[in-house]
């Protein structure tokens, strides 16, 4: 028979074994929970990383539509399945064609069910030439939508709200800076139009020597920059809706103002040629009047004029907006560029600088009404690239 002491010892041993077991089990539960938490955290981080990468991919897809979607925006979309794998991609290619979401959903098929749509612009919520994308996403069974920026177009906006009402999880503002940069022209023009100031995003492009001359004194310099830089300009032309020059450039150079491919052939889609010509001096046989592209000789009589009897440039902008232009290239010359800058109508500057010096000859920019340094137009550099032997500098006016 066990003594009371033995029994006490065995009870103590049993209790201690029980408490060790309890402690171990609590530890194992804690360990399991923490492993689960880590796994959940890792998987949330993985999904977030995949959505982030998908948005950058969507921005690249959207860029493929530059030059062909106006008056619509460029939009890219990537569909991820539940595990975050890409199952569909799409971009908006031309106005009237399927929207990016619809193309991406078509590519994903059934795999969109339970998945996430990552799209640069808030999905539209109206029926235009195509149906509302918000509805297409809901019908496809997408459970989450990640968008870069909200749609500022009063007619199309409201997609996020419609999606949320249908129980879809919506996150806005992912990679907003990159998305905004990729669609800056359409977003700017659309916001301005909504505020009662409809006009396209204007890129002023010029070419000059390093000392800022746009031509030699004797006029022997139609081409300041290299063939590489000129090929680059052709690419830029193929991304815009219109090319604008003053009648001075037409009279001096008789340019064709078309977009050409690398092989020199006319590009499939041509920007509208806009000649700003107050008194209608563009010759009947000017090359811009041929059938290679549409041409608008914008006279003061048609557009309206200011006190100097010259074409009213703000009204010209409204006329271009009405013609569907959202992103346009102002190619000169110095007089018209100065007038656009004086009126605050330039949104981006692209300068091609050739490593040459002339010391005399017309400047790339004539007066913009600035007489003192405090009035200088401050620019923020956003890109500097060497193009063949030349430099291409892109800048945005500060404070816009
Ligand atoms: N290096 C470059 O990047 C570049 C680019 C283009 C041209 N260029 C050179 O520039 C030279 C032509 O210079 P430019 O200054 O005479 O050409 P421009 O700026 O293309 O044309 C000026 C003309 O635009 C008309 N215009 C209409 N409305 C206007 C307004 N509101 N404000 C200002 N102008 C208005 C004016 O003629 P009306 O009053 O008759 O309307 C004015 O004389 C050429 O030699 C060409 O080679 C160089």
Whether 279 shows a pLDDT value over 50: the answer reads: yes
Give residue-wise pLDDT tens across range 168-192.
999 999 999 999 999 999 999 999 9
Give residue-wise pLDDT tens across range 140-150.
999 999 999 99
Q: How many residues would you count in the chain?
A: 400
CA of 202 to the centre of ligand 1 (A): 16
Structure letter (DSSP) for residue 9:
H
User: Sign of torsion, CA 112 116 117 118?
Assistant: negative
Q: Measured from the CB, is residue 341 less than 6 Å from ligand 1?
A: no
Whether 378 shows a pLDDT value over 70: the answer reads: yes
Whether 282 shows a pLDDT value over 80: the answer reads: yes
**Residue 313 pLDDT class (50, 70, 90 cuts):** very high
pLDDT at 155: 81
Give the pair of three-digit tokens for residue 119.
Answer: 């799209």
Give the pair of three-digit tokens for residue 40.
Answer: 């959940």
Bond into 333 cis (ω within 30):
yes
Structure letter (DSSP) for residue 375:
G
Contact in structure between 122 and 106 (CB atoms under 8 Å): no
- Number of H helices and number of E strands within the chain? 11, 13
Please give the domain boundaries of the chain with CATH numbers for all domains.
61-182 (3.40.140.10), 199-397 (3.40.430.10)
Alpha-helical (H) ranges within the chain are 4-63, 100-108, 133-139, 159-165, 176-182, 184-194, 227-237, 247-253, 300-303, 313-322, 334-342
Compute the average pLDDT of residues 254-259: 96
- Distance (Å) of CA 5 to CA 2, 9, 10, 18, 294: 8, 6, 9, 20, 109
CA of 257 to the centre of ligand 1 (A): 14
pLDDT at 223: 83
Report the alpha-carbon distance of residue 120 to residue 60 in Å, rounded: 10
Nearest to 352 by CA among 371, 367, 331, 377: 331
pLDDT at 129: 73
If 0-12 CB within 10 Å is exposed, 13-18 middle and 19+ buried, where does residue 156 land? Answer: buried
Q: What's the CA angle centered on 384, arms 379 and 389, to 5 degrees?
A: 130
Q: Please, what is the average pLDDT of the chain?
A: 92
Bond into 71 cis (ω within 30):
yes
Contact in structure between 132 and 99 (CB atoms under 8 Å): no
Residue from 236, 286, 310 whose mutation best tests the ligand 1 pocket (most atoms within 8 A of CB): 310
Whether 12 shows a pLDDT value over 90: the answer reads: no
% of the chain residues with pLDDT over 70: 93
Contact in structure between 87 and 66 (CB atoms under 8 Å): no
Task: Determine which of 19-23, 193-197, 298-302 has the lowest per-residue pLDDT on average.
Answer: 19-23
The set of catalytic residues is: 101
Contact in structure between 385 and 374 (CB atoms under 8 Å): no
Residue from 332, 350, 356, 369 whose mutation best tests the ligand 1 pocket (most atoms within 8 A of CB): 332
CA of 194 to the centre of ligand 1 (A): 31
CA of 246 to the centre of ligand 1 (A): 4
pLDDT at 357: 96
Q: Measured from the CB, is residue 329 less than 6 Å from ligand 1?
A: no
Report the alpha-carbon distance of residue 395 to residue 376 in Å, rounded: 14
% of the chain residues with pLDDT over 90: 80
pLDDT at 332: 79
If 0-12 CB within 10 Å is exposed, 13-18 middle and 19+ buried, where does residue 289 land? Answer: middle
Question: Between 27 and 93, whose confidence is greater?
Answer: 93
């Amino acid at each position: 028979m066990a003594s009371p002491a033995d029994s006490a010892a065995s009870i103590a041993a049993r209790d201690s074994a029980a408490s060790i077991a309890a402690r171990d089990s609590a530890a194992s539960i804690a360990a399991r929970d923490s492993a689960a938490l880590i796994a959940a955290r890792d998987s949330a981080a993985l999904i977030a990383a995949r959505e982030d990468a998908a948005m950058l991919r969507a921005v690249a897809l959207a860029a493929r539509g530059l030059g062909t979607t106006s008056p619509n925006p460029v939009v890219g979309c990537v569909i991820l399945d539940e595990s975050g794998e890409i199952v569909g991609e799409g971009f908006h290619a031309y106005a009237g064609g399927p929207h990016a979401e619809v193309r991406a959903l078509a590519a994903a098929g059934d795999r969109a069910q339970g998945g996430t749509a990552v799209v640069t612009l808030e999905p539209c919520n109206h029926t235009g030439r195509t149906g509302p994308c918000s509805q297409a996403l809901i019908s496809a069974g997408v459970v989450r939508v990640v968008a870069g920026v909200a749609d500022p177009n009063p007619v199309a906006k409201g997609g996020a709200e419609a999606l949320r009402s249908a129980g879809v999880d919506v996150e806005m503002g992912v990679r907003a800076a990159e998305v905004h940069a990729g669609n800056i022209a359409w977003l700017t023009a659309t916001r301005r139009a909504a505020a009662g100031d409809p006009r396209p995003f204007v890129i002023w492009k010029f070419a000059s020597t390093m000392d800022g001359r746009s031509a030699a004194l004797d006029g022997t310099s139609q081409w300041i920059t290299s063939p590489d830089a000129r090929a680059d300009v052709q690419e830029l032309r193929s991304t815009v809706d219109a090319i604008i020059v003053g009648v001075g450039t037409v009279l001096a150079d008789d340019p064709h103002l078309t977009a050409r491919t690398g092989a020199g052939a006319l590009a499939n889609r041509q920007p509208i040629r806009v000649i700003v010509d107050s008194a209608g001096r563009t010759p009947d046989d000017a090359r811009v009047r041929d059938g290679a592209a549409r041409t608008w000789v914008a006279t003061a009589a048609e557009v309206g004029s200011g006190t100097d009897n010259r074409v009213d440039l703000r009204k010209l902008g409204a006329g271009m907006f009405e013609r569907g232009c959202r992103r346009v290239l102002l190619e000169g010359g110095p007089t018209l560029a100065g007038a656009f800058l004086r009126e605050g109508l330039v949104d981006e500057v692209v300068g091609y600088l050739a490593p040459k010096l002339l010391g005399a000859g017309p400047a790339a920019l004539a007066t913009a009404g600035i007489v003192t340094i405090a009035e200088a137009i401050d620019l923020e550099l956003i890109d500097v690239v060497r193009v063949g032997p030349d430099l291409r500098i892109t800048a945005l006016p500060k404070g816009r």
